[in-house]
Structure 1
């Protein structure tokens, strides 16, 4: 119960600060909890990776070190880029083994999920989904565009 209260407090604090959007503090476009046991010691970072028409995207989205507000690295809040290449994206947590602040394929990461994000440059029907221009969240077969994309929980 106490750890749940700490996690809720940390998320509340980071979301409150995120709403300020000052000094690189995330806007809170995507928020969630990192669950399970971290598979290896090291810095945990968040990445936004994707597959677009022009290839693989690997975006660092750590505007603020997660540990600053949450030393247990259990909750996170990130900003999405205002524009991106059209494609399918995934938010993941990873252990940055080489401290390059980029996700590398050999680094331990959270499990893949049936949820993700689609960035569309116009309203369209993509990958069997009807999406609107901008960021869209898909969870199974449900698509939404209402931000923040909350409860985007990640599991080790």
Structure 2
């Protein structure tokens, strides 16, 4: 019995930290609208450049939807990424490489982003704190999970 409790505690602690592919649920939401093309729908966290285009030099998290039938998802954010502006998007992986490529059908851009700051800073007229920040328009929050981060085709 004691050994079973140890294994249970170990499994729960691993799951809570995102090991074994179990997302921590840092960002959650749903995907609405009509998928523009047949194929596997995947999620990616991509960096954005000042012109709004994806910065493909940023490593991508690429996680399949948590429940494709209900179109809800839950992802974990990296613990120490490069400072910058990021976007969560869903896309149709048309070439099957499990990485978002510019030109693949994707969800629409929203007036929101995730900002990872190495220190507290002023940015485009608003203040962000060290760590992950959710920016909706000019509203900034750090309260996780970043829920209702809904995506639309």
The TM tier, using the shorter chain, reads: 0.7 to 0.9
- Which residue in 2 is equivalent to 1:99? 96
CA contact (8 A) 2:62 2:98 kept: no
- Which residue in 2 is equivalent to 1:144? 141
What TM-score does the superposition give when structure 2 sets the normalisation length? 0.80
**Distance change >3 Å, CA 34–CA 28, structure 1 → 2:** same
**Distance change >3 Å, CA 108–CA 58, structure 1 → 2:** farther
After TM superposition, give the deviation of residue 24 of structure 1 in Å. Answer: 1.1
CA contact (8 A) 1:47 1:91 kept: yes
- Which residue in 2 is equivalent to 1:119? 116
State the superposition RMSD in angstroms.
1.9
Name structure 2 gaps, 5 residues minimum: 1-14
Please list, as runs of the form range in 1=range in 2, the aligned pairs for 1:6-45 lying within 5 A after superposition: 19=16, 21-45=18-42
Which one has the largest radius of gyration?
2
Instruction: Tell me how many residue pairs correspond in the alignment.
Output: 134
Name structure 1 gaps, 5 residues minimum: 1-17
CA distance in 2, matches of 1:79, 1:127: 26
What TM-score does the superposition give when structure 1 sets the normalisation length? 0.79
Please list, as runs of the form range in 1=range in 2, the aligned pairs for 1:39-118 lying within 5 A after superposition: 39-51=36-48, 56=55, 57-62=58-63, 65-66=64-65, 69-72=66-69, 74-118=71-115
CA distance in 1, matches of 2:134, 2:114: 4
Q: Which of the numbers 130, 134, 151 marks the counterpart of 1:133?
A: 130
